[in-house]
Structure 1
Amino acid sequence: MSARVRGVAIGVMVIAALITGCGSGTTASEQSGEPNEPGQSGQSGESPAAGDLPDVDVLTTPDGFEDVAPDQLSTEWTPLVTGEDCVLVGRAGQSADPVEDLRAASVAAVRDIASAGGADPAEVTDLELVTSGSGEGNDPAATATFASADWTGDSGAVRAASRVQNLLSYEGTGSSERLDLTFTCTDGSLDDAAWEAVMADVRPSLSWGSEEPWRDILEGVDED
């Protein structure tokens, strides 16, 4: 990467951090007191180990982008794929407390991210992301459904995607995990072609999946 492109990519990362609220080191959930922020312990117990956090695998990147993903996501916003005008960042977390409604919690997570960037998207929709497989000779692909919204702010155009889902331990107790992604383009317009090219080889990694978009693994489980 040339010095000019490297400098632009670093600038993109800084701007994306400001958009998503990580520039201050405080997440939107921390500011609002929401119970399911990444990495927050629930009142009923301790959070699972950090090594159990959801993650994102970057298989390869399109021309003009660089894979900067760490070995493991953390609860802080972390650059995953950077380009001259757009950057993909992510964070992950777990809570000792399950959520009542997976989609509602995921929608709230997206709105938290938007609020931290000074935005209020009119609509949050479902977005299907490939989690494994896809490509010639490797079908069908496994997917996961995320809540997603687009908005434009002073620092650029943003697409956010979040999924909150419950977990079930061998002991029969419930907890939850969360994965947040944002794709930010600093030129003021969301580059859908760049989004598609980057996400074609990005694989969100969660603890479990289902063919039903918002199926709750705790449904029907009686927690005493």
Structure 2
Amino acid sequence: MNNEYAHQQCLALMEALIQYRHQPIYRQLRRFGKRQSMLHSDVLQLLYHLGRIARGGILEIGAFRGGSTVAVALGLRQSGAAKKFITIEQGGRLRGHRLGTRNILHTLKRNLGRQGVDDIVTVVKGRSSEDYVVAAVKRALAGEKLGLIVLDADAEVKRDLERFGLHMIEHCWVVIDDYGGSADAEKSAPIKCQVDEFVAAGSLLPLGYYGNATWFGQWLKPLPAR
């Protein structure tokens, strides 16, 4: 992978974001995100962009209320392409938070319906660590390779990249939240360590860091066998 390619991809992301900031979709996602997402509005906008341009299926792990899910789905719908979009969410409840909800899955599906994208998103209930969930994702993909994967669940991003790496095309877009944060953060520290391992091995290509903590890059190849 040459530096010129990485440079071009980095610039393309930044230029896309600058252009979107002057379009109605940016204001739409910013308003929606304040009510439904912990992600920065720039991240939501880039997820919309990647939903538009991804050259394969889409997998999200950790949908929560659906802020990122809706952003990607709106981009996918705008593209007009018939790509599969699967999101994994274990459900449950969240208390004591401004985005708290008594039923995460219900809130997720309600938001997908209200935004008119429930027909293009397949929701799989469970954890990505569970074999039946992985099997359900593979069935839903029906052989289609992934062109975009969004990781925003637990800190085990290495597990998810290894499980789904064989289903990703080369240069599959990879978005990983909680890469940034304080050095001793319970989630960000292990995520950063794992992502950096993939980068050092030539498996991931870093292309940017947006919002408060979200890493953007591309998939190149699996980690070497040990």
Q: Give the alignment's TM-score, normalised by structure 2.
A: 0.27
Task: Tell me which structure has the larger Cα radius of gyration.
Answer: 1
TM-score (norm 1): 0.27
Relative contact order: is structure 1 or structure 2 higher (C-alpha 8 Å, sep ≥ 6)? 1
| More helix as a share of residues | 2
Between Structure 1 and Structure 2, the one with more strand by share is: 1
